[in-house]
Structure 1
Amino acid sequence: MPKATETPDTPVCLELSKVLADSYNLYLKTHGYHWNVRGPQFNSLHAMFMSQYTEMWTALDEIAERIRALGELAPMSGAAFGNLSSIKEGDATKSANEMLRELADGHKTLIATLKNALKVAEEASDDPTVDLLTVRLGSHEKHLWMISATLED
């Protein structure tokens, strides 16, 4: 029987919950910046942000379902995500380059969260979680690369 809490007890589920919270907050920020980006790069950034938030949206379900498969409840409230996440909300008034820098920082933060969760999953010999986290790590490294390349002079 699952516990009625949004803060899991097991180390792997706790780390997966942090990954889910960081992923959700970065998804929201990316989607919001998709709506609000302005300037000469509008079209290309609007499309890149859409591609990235769409990929992240699908991953949220996979992460939450892995938590459930391990017998815990997935966090689902804004308060739970706020307590678990290291990624701050976006700001629609920022310039396109400021948005890009914030998203790059968000991916760096999430990559660190993923690496920590990966270590915990490896120590627990939880191969399905290791596989999931490895795929997510690759995706966020690719998103970071695309954003960083866009910021280059």
Structure 2
Amino acid sequence: MTGTWRTDPFLTDGLLNRILADSTILYNLYKKHHRLVRGPLSHQLHLLLDKHAEEQLKVIDLVGERVHRLGGVAVADPRQVAEMTMVPRPPDGAEDVPAMLCRLLEAHEIVIGAVREAIERSAADRDDGTAGLLMGEVLRTNELQAWFVAEHLAAAPVVGV
């Protein structure tokens, strides 16, 4: 068996690849903010942002492999990722810490929304492998990361992004 028994293009080429693209952008946001964070909590945030970036790399790998196993072609080219993502492009350069954290929360909300939609779709298609991956790895990782980011933002003034 080749593993291509499921070829729902809406799931593989649509939702899963969008989750892959959004997760790739989220990873890059974490790395950007990791490099540019400043202020009294910079060391703590530097470590947290790097840890979250590494966890997003794991998500990216798992989702990309799932797309491939389902017979799709995982989005990998940066130009395709940029075209496919729903995560807004951040401004060039550094932002203040609350703006960075708000931007990360917004990206997590986008990923979580797409993941929940894909879980429903894969469950309806009786694709337990995809539903399990999305629930067990992707959703839980993003929810936990969003919670940690929100906790750091709770004491900081909220700014517009």
TM-score by length of 1: 0.90
Return the match for 2:139 from 122, 137, 140: 137
2:11 aligned partner: 12
Runs of 4+ in 1 over 4 A off after TM superposition: none
TM superposition shift of 1:109: 1.0
Matches within 5 A, 1:90-101: 90-91=90-91, 92-101=93-102
- Kept in 2, the 8 Å contact 1:15–1:120? The answer is no
State yes or no: 1:121 paired with 2:122: yes
For 1:44, give the aligned amino acid.
Answer: Q
1:152 aligned partner: 154
Query: Aligned partners of 1:113, 1:152: CA distance in 2, in Å?
Result: 25
- Kept in 2, the 8 Å contact 1:34–1:46? The answer is yes
TM-score by length of 2: 0.86
2:113 aligned partner: 112
Matches within 5 A, 1:35-114: 35-91=35-91, 92-114=93-115
Deviates more, 1:91-100 or 1:22-31: 91-100
| Residues 10 and 80 (structure 1), Cα distance of their counterparts in 2 relative to 1, 3 Å cut | same
2:159 aligned partner: none
For 2:21, give the aligned amino acid.
Answer: A
TM superposition shift of 1:83: 2.4
Deviates more, 1:77-86 or 1:33-42: 77-86
For 1:143, give the aligned amino acid.
Answer: Q
Query: Aligned partners of 2:40, 2:124: CA distance in 1, in Å?
Result: 48
- Kept in 2, the 8 Å contact 1:121–1:129? The answer is yes
RMSD, matched Cα = 1.6
Deviation digits for residues 3-43 of structure 1 (CA, Å, limit 9, x no counterpart): xxxxx961210211011000000000111110111111100
Query: Aligned partners of 2:67, 2:119: CA distance in 1, in Å?
Result: 14
Query: Aligned partners of 1:126, 1:80: CA distance in 2, in Å?
Result: 26
Query: Aligned partners of 1:80, 1:93: CA distance in 2, in Å?
Result: 25
Q: Which runs of 5+ in 1 are unaligned?
A: 1-7
3-state DSSP class of the match of 2:87? coil
3-state DSSP class of the match of 1:125? coil
Query: Aligned partners of 1:58, 1:143: CA distance in 2, in Å?
Result: 13
Query: Aligned partners of 1:51, 1:69: CA distance in 2, in Å?
Result: 28
Deviation digits for residues 22-68 of structure 1 (CA, Å, limit 9, x no counterpart): 00000001111101111111001101101100011111111100000
3-state DSSP class of the match of 2:71? coil
- Kept in 2, the 8 Å contact 1:33–1:90? The answer is no
1:3 aligned partner: none
TM superposition shift of 1:78: 2.0
